[in-house]
Structure 1
Amino acid sequence: MHYFGERSALDYFNAQGDVRARQISAGELSKNPSLLRSYASVVNVLAPELIPSREIAETTYYVDSLGFMWQEADLPPNSLVRQVKAYFVQDVFGSVENLDRLGVRRVTAVSGIVSAPEPSTRKPQPDGVHALVNLGGLSNPAGSASADAYLPLVDRLLGTLDDPTYQFSVAMNCGASTFSLSVAGPSQRYSEQEFQKALADCDVIVSSPGLTTLIESSQAGRPYVPLPPQNWSQVVICEHMSRLSTQEIWQFLATPYHAIDARAEEASKAAAVRDINRALARDETFAARFGRLAQQTVRAGEVPVVGHPYRGADEVAASIAADLGVADRTGGTPARGEKQ
């Protein structure tokens, strides 16, 4: 088995102790389309740009964690994603129904795709709060300028939680650079196992609202305080969570982005999110309101309920193994059904 990726995906692979990954790009595949042709099958995790031809699409098992957010502009009729051998999607926020609306076929629903949780060794801190700050890969289709806009915003908002009772640690999976936040301190690059351990040992997670971390928080039973969205998928997640959660902070975070046209192409929406975040970093009223709502959310201790039973990775692996006629060593059961 060989691993390929670029940007945050490559960073994630390389942060694991037992995985060696090679960088690959859409440009490289266009120049050398035979690169993937030598493999009998390909598992592609949300990287449609790395499906170079219909021939490769027909050997590809596609895994989509964000099926709820796609519009017609993202999946046009000639999209090679529509030609894949099998399309697995996390069954959250109406993903299956949305893909059906767009006419995507061969869709198989799976539960949350996350790693197995680590046991907690934390000791109770009656007079303190250990907050794990997670910013993921600082990923946005609008490019690195988005991180340049996002980090000052996060730095300012965490300042509203500056309290002697808070102990912060900062996690990320981006290997390109490190950074330090005024209140929370320097970032730490974790492997998946290390992140699961940090999550098990924290009292609350404060995170950009990426779906994987939201599901991991749900699985670990940890209260969750969202930061503003980094990209368009996280805007949509805030909207969905505002209807599922009792906490006002979700709707508060979704509101600044309401003027963005959901029908636009993802890169355009991502750039709009970046520009709004740059403006919010200068907005004293927004920061003060965030601080009040974040403190309220910490006190409420609400754990998100998303992705149960958290067996999506095993469900995908078992289904692919069954299709290829090979032994499945994950202990998983095949995914829950295919919509033709």
Structure 2
Amino acid sequence: MPSNVATYSADPAARSALVTVALVGAEFGWGSSGKLSAVLSALRDRSAPPLRFVGLASGLGRPLLAEHTVDDWYDLPDDPGRLAPTVREIVRSQGVRAAVVVLDGAAATALLAVGVPTVFVDSLPFLWSEGDRAALPLDATVYCAQKSVELPPECMDVLADAPGLRWVEAVIARPRASESERGAGRSTGRPYRRALVSLGGLRAPRLGDPAHYPRLVVPAALEALAAHGVEEVHIAGNLPGDLAGRLIDASVAPPRTTTGPLGHGAFLDRLDDCDVLLTSPGLTTLLEAGDLNVPTVCLPPQNLSQIFNGRYHSQALKAPLRVLWPKYVLAEDDALALRSEGEDHALELIYGAIGAAAQGDHRQAVSHTLRDGVLEALRRSAGVDDWGALTTAVGTGGAAQVADALLGVLGPTDRLSRPA
């Protein structure tokens, strides 16, 4: 059995009256857990059967789910041969009746194999090609693919074989503030005064040293923000240890610079209160910023999906608002050319290029180039009128749609039976 790493157990008699749903997020970054958090919030707003939640994997993103009641958390083994029996035992011991899985194809497949009806959330459908087919749970009970501003034909060919395919809008948490209250304290002038820097995806599998990316990007971003007149900045994300603090050079950073991870609700509050966001282009963060109409600049991509996300963001806003790696570090088209062989091949190139830049003789030159790129993007941002264009293009009702899919899978509670 996996280690039970956190327990919030209810009274056993009360637990027996609840319908147990398993939650799984990919061990890649915080985006999948942010989506789970949004779905759980949507379930609270519905007339649902009494539900109880247990979590599998999602180790990186568990802090984002702290505001929700999850009875037990289980780690899953890295060894593929141990995954199926581990999942089977969790399902048996916890009485799991259904599951919501975000981007973890292996976990979804294991749950389906033991008879658990599974809603799979795919927020990156544009990414897939024939080389990824084997890793996708195309036989999921409901395969919720998130809408995108562009869908390459190769991904459509793969998803056509998902019988439970259902297109959903952006799976994001809706702000607690009303439409009229969002960004009420945000300055409309330039330069910006309060900034948020967000870095996610730094603990992805096969990444190697998660410090390489922030060593190159954080000093460059801080120097550019200070040059643009920013006085206050907070650095958030899943950075290793106290790395962010060690990367702050007081001589060039904005005068009030703080660091530290933020829970999902706290992140949205901080996002709504800032004048500008600088972020590694994770899709959930870009969509949430768009929903709050926050000016956003994309930092250089950390992985394959972020190349697409940054391009889609600039395309929707009709302005070049993303910072590119120097060509001698990474040529994006080289990474995209490897996509037909599967995402892993492209990731190997991207991670290797960032690692080489962080450890090479040209590290300082790379950082200076990135600083100039951030500063130029900040200046160009003054010409953008509608910061919500990307989010508007894909809609914001995805969390509710996934919640409804789960409730549809569960059906009337008196007809539910435990999986074998």
The 1:56–1:88 alpha-carbon spacing in structure 2 relative to 1, beyond 3 Å, is farther
1:89–1:18 Cα change, 3 Å: same
Q: CA contact under 8 A between 1:132 and 1:198: conserved in structure 2?
A: yes
Deviations 1:177-205 (A, max 9, x none): 34324137453221111111111111111
Deviations 1:247-283 (A, max 9, x none): 2243845973221222233223222112222455523
CA spacing shift, 1:93–1:124, aligned 2, 3 Å: closer
Matches for 1:144-163 after TM superposition, within 5 Å: 144-145=208-209, 147-158=210-221, 159-163=223-227
Query: Any conservation in 2 of the 1:92–1:307 contact (CA below 8 Å)?
Result: no
Pair 236,321 (structure 1): closer, same or farther in 2 beyond 3 Å = same
Secondary structure, aligned partner of 2:341: coil
Q: State the distance in 1 between where 2:278 and 2:297 align.
A: 5
Equivalent-residue separation in structure 2 for 1:60 and 1:46 (angstroms): 12
* Structure 2 equivalent of residue 275 of structure 1: 352
2:408 corresponds to 1:322: yes
- Would you say 1:13 and 2:96 are equivalent positions? no
Query: Paired residue for 1:74?
Result: 132
Which residue of structure 2 aligns with residue 168 of structure 1?
233
Per mean C-alpha deviation after superposition, the further-off stretch among 204-213 and 125-134 is 125-134
Residues 169, 396 of structure 2: 8 Å contact kept? yes
Contact 2:235 2:258 in 1 (8 A): yes
RMSD after superposition: 3.0
1:306 aligns with 2:390: yes
In structure 1, the residue corresponding to 2:227 is in which secondary structure? coil
Aligned to 1:86: 142
Larger Rg: 2
Tell me the SS of whatever aligns to 1:118. coil
Distance 2:153 2:340 in 1: 17
Distance in 2 (CA, whole Å) between partners of 1:96 and 1:325 is 35
Name which of structure 1's ranges 266-275 and 207-216 shifts more when overlaid on structure 2.
266-275
- Residue matched to 1:49: 106
Contact 1:57 1:83 in 2 (8 A): no
SS in 1 for 2:120: strand
Q: Which of 33-42 and 315-324 deviates more? A: 33-42
Q: Which residue identity lines up with residue 306 of structure 1 in the other structure?
A: L
Kindly provide the amino acid, as one letter, of the partner of residue 332 in structure 2.
Y
Q: What residue in structure 1 maps to residue 16 of structure 2?
A: none
Percentage of pairs with the same residue: 21
Deviations 1:140-165 (A, max 9, x none): 332342x2220112123212332373
Any stretches of 5+ residues in structure 1 without a counterpart? 328-340
1:230–1:274 CA contact under 8 A, matched in 2:
yes
Count of residue pairs the alignment pairs up: 323
CA deviation vs aligned residue, 1:192-228 (integer Å, no higher than 9, x gap): 1111111111111110000000100111011110001
Q: After alignment, is 266-275 or 67-76 more displaced?
A: 266-275
Take 2:153 and 2:89, find their aligned partners in 1: how far apart are those partners? 34
Instruction: State yes or no: 1:117 paired with 2:159.
Output: no
Query: Partner letter of residue 23 of structure 1?
Result: Y
**Structure 2 vs 1, CA of residues 252 and 137 (structure 1 numbering), >3 Å: closer, same or farther?**
closer
Query: Residues 52 and 11 (structure 1 numbering): CA distance in 2 closer, same or farther, change over 3 Å?
Result: same
Length-normalised TM-score, structure 1:
0.82
Structure 2: any 5+ residue segments left out of the alignment? 1-20, 30-57, 414-420
Any conservation in 2 of the 1:46–1:65 contact (CA below 8 Å)? yes
What is the CA–CA distance in structure 1 between the aligned matches of 2:74 and 2:259, rounded to whole Å?
24
CA shift in 2, pair 1:219/1:96, >3 Å:
farther
For 1:296 and 1:186, locate their aligned partners in 2 and report how far apart those are by CA, in whole Å: 24
Match of 2:202 in 1: 138
